[in-house]
Amino acid sequence: MPKVKTSTAEQTEFNSVQPKKIKNNLSMPRSRKIFIALMLAYPILHFLVFWLYININTFVISFERFSYTSGKNVFVGFMNYEEFFRNLSLPSSATLRHAIVNSILYLPFNNFILLPLSVICAYFLFKGVFGHRVFRVVFFFPSIISIVVLTMSFSFMFNTQFGPIVKILQNIGLGALVPPNGFFGTPGLTQGMVFLYCLWAGIGYNVVLLTGAITRIPEEVLEAGKLDGIPMRKELFMVVVPLIFPTISTLFITGSMVVFTLFLQPMLLANGGPNGTTYTVAYYIVDMVNNNRLEEAAAAGIIFSIIGIPIVQLIKWGMEKITPQVDF
């Protein structure tokens, strides 16, 4: 293709116009700049106040104790940390040991019970089982309701006086299964009821995300499986799961992080009882704050962060290693 020659005058005019066009394109109205600055100000302030300041202040407080003689906090070194480990070894600190064990149990529960059931439910909803649209709403409904309302509804269902679950058990001749102290007042059973609530209330959020991931699978892939005559079981585990594994990996990681932050469920359902058997790590720290043990609570938070962050990062690293790269 022949090159088009331009005169020196035309080239000079072109060069003089270009910077003006670029400058006009880069210019922005003042109102737009103010709007962008205000939109950025909120997340930046939120990060500085509720993350950076809170964490730095927690770290500083963990090395202090309130002095009643001076009326202010004084530096005490590692006294709060030593107090925590001393309490952990005392026979009277059964609540702290329950909190640690319960928090650890949430890890396999979230990742090896709740998550697999969510995958199966999402798959059957995707396959269009009878009433799948209604089930999709029912599964997601707990995710948009206040946890206070949900826990009240769940506890009412198992109330020994008027709960429908108790009435059903009595009508079918299984009334002996109802514990005398109630489902939320019997040691050894209450924690299982909290797990059951987490299953009932938490499966919907996972199902919505997993269903969305399954619907993004190309139809040609699933049609090829149908032509090969693979059963649903093989389609689920050999086709669907590998293709949505990045979403499963994300839910696996978030399910591991919840272990160190969950406390509302046992607090609202059983108030940590009976005898502190349903405490979690986060609930134990909140309870120390409510009892004006701020410095010890800060030290406990730092200790569990030092333990929890490497665990979550290790899980994240492992899931990234085994997560296949899938492009749709």
Q: For 3-48, how does the pLDDT look when each residue is reduced to its tens digit (9 = 90+)?
A: 555 555 555 554 555 555 445 545 778 888 899 999 999 999 999 9
Residue 203 above 90 pLDDT?
Answer: no
Q: Over the stretch 73-122, which tens digit does the pLDDT of each residue have? A: 899 999 999 988 888 888 778 888 899 999 999 999 999 999 999 999 89
Q: Residue 299: what pLDDT? A: 93
Query: What average pLDDT does this structure show over 262-285?
Result: 90
Residue 132: C-alpha distances to residues 122, 129, 274 (Å) = 10, 5, 39
Of residues 221 and 113, more confidently modeled: 113
- CATH fold of 88-322 reads MetI-like fold (1.10.3720)
Q: Over the stretch 123-136, which tens digit does the pLDDT of each residue have? A: 988 887 766 667 76
Q: What are the boundaries of each domain within the chain?
A: 88-322
Residue 219 above 60 pLDDT?
Answer: yes
Cβ pair 265, 200 in contact under 8 A? no
Percent of the chain scoring above 90 in pLDDT: 35
Structure tokens given for 218: 């190309």
Residue 26: C-alpha distances to residues 22, 32, 108, 251 (Å) = 6, 13, 53, 41
Q: Helix 245-257 to helix 294-322 angle, to the nearest 10 degrees?
A: 160
